[in-house]
A and B are shown apart, each in its own frame.
Chain A
Amino acid sequence: MAVPAIEARGLSKTFGGLPALRGVDFRLDPGEAVALFGPNGAGKSTLLRLCAMLLRPSAGSVKIFANDGRDGAAAIRRRIGFLSHQSFLYPDLTPIENLLFYARLFAVPDATRRVDALLDQVGLIGWANRPVRTLSRGLEQRCALARALLHEPDLLMLDEPFTGLDVDASATLRAVLSAAHARGAAVLMTTHDISQGLAICRRAVILARGALVWDGAVSADDREGFERTFLGVIHPRPRAAAA
């Protein structure tokens, strides 16, 4: 049996006494693509940050490729690509400078060629030498995607990757993610856009009020069916009314 890319057990996180995630059990296998859905405040970003080891769990555990980060955390981080709401890009540096900086941190071989190829892939060649501060939200997001893919991670975690992207950029993102998935990378992405999520992932997970309330196979052809499931699990009918 393959070592899971992510294995979370009883994962909980509280912020100032307020629970953000409550006892989540979750597994993501290598090469699998999972869409994480849920209403605002459901705990999607918290789950992603816990899996990326940016946060420490309040209870439970999370292992990335069977490593809980206590030993060899650097080796695990080398296998993770993370795209957040924020780009993690230095506004006063250009896309090329930002990507070369991260390439050095991740010890990417032949960094210049890799950066050029990625800038071309995400359609940023024309903006490569302008400070990130001057780029639009969509262009900055493209550059952030290139940053997340720079070291060819085995596990890609994306938090609302389609936010702020135009149609063209969304298509580019889908193509880039599909290519990463085809290469064998595991993908875990949060999104509010059901169509985009189902276009890439064959499994979906729904979080509500910090708990995992649904986990199952999905199909891009059954968007309406999944929407009904989604609304049903995030707004469960009270028992008295159901009776």
Chain B
Amino acid sequence: MFALLWKDLQIEFRTKETLASLLMLGLLTLLILSFAFDPMSELRGEAAPAVLWVAVIFAGVLGINRSFLTERENECLHGLLLAPVDRGTIYLAKVAGNVLFMVTAQLIVGPIFVLFFNLPLTLALPRLAVVVLLGLIGFAAVGSLFAAISVRTRAREVMLPLLLLPLAVPVLIAGVKASDRILAGKTLSDVSQWLHLLLGFDLVFLVVGWLLFEYAVEE
């Protein structure tokens, strides 16, 4: 698994394509949505969690799609499938890589989000990081499975969001609700029901993806 992950990191260090796309789309989404709200309006603060998750999800779709496009060039995915490696391990390595790239992008997008929405976050930031991390793992777990399917279709850029976003709704709802409460000063135990939902989603889809990836990549 580490060989697979290291290979994705090597490619990213060289091309910087995934991180650049994640950052650009994340920042653009934040910028556009921050201008949609009056700086003096209370609505701006209330909308902040939704804006954060819209930026996370939009950029995430792009990054996950990109991670499988590298396997499509020169039919590299067939090279992986010919190796004596369990298909589930290939899936877990892809999920780990996608989470890593999305977390890295969030490390830059997050502080800019705080700045744009003028949020008093010093205490809430570690708690918000837990919510975002759990959400990203679940999103990458579903996304990596569907990206393996959609990358072999002609309309792959359209297909992935169409397959992924409806299934990722629980992540979005739990992520937005938990982030909203945490930005309002609540503790992690106050949002435990949403954290449990995120954790359950992560575990279920990691197991489902690990089991089904073999069929997703089969021709």
Contacts and interface: CB of A to CB of B under 8 A. Distances in A.
Contacts of A80: 82
Interface residues of A, number: 29
Contacts of A106: 83-84
Nearest to B90: A105
B86 to A, nearest CB: 7
| Chain A contact residues, majority secondary structure | loop
A86 B82 contact: no
B82 A56 contact: no
Contact of B84 (A77, A101, A132): A77
A235 interface: no
Contact of A91 (B3, B7, B74, B219): B74
Nearest to B2: A104
Interface stretch (B8-16, B98-106, B145-153, B181-189): B8-16
B11 A105 contact: no
Interface in B1-29: 3-4, 6-7, 10-11, 14-15
| Chain B contact residues, majority secondary structure | helix
Interface string B110-153: 00000000000000000000000000000000000000000000
B11 A86 contact: no
Contacts of B78: 54, 84, 86, 88
B130 to A, nearest CB: 33
A102 B15 contact: no
B14 A105 contact: no
Contacts of B82: 52, 54, 77, 80, 82, 88
Contact of B73 (A52, A54, A74, A91): A91
Interface of A: 52, 54-56, 74-75, 77-78, 80, 82, 84, 86-93, 97, 101-102, 104-107, 131-132, 147
Contacts of A101: 3, 6-7
B57 to A, nearest CB: 27
B193 interface: no
Contacts of A91: 73-74
28 contacts: A54-B82, A54-B219, A55-B219, A56-B218, A56-B219, A74-B84, A74-B86, A77-B84, A84-B78, A86-B75, A87-B74, A88-B74, A88-B75, A88-B82, A89-B74, A89-B76, A89-B79, A91-B73, A92-B11, A93-B10, A93-B11, A93-B14, A97-B10, A101-B6, A105-B3, A105-B84, A106-B83, A107-B84
| Residue picked from A91, A92, A93, most chain B C-beta under 10 Å | A92
A92 B74 contact: no
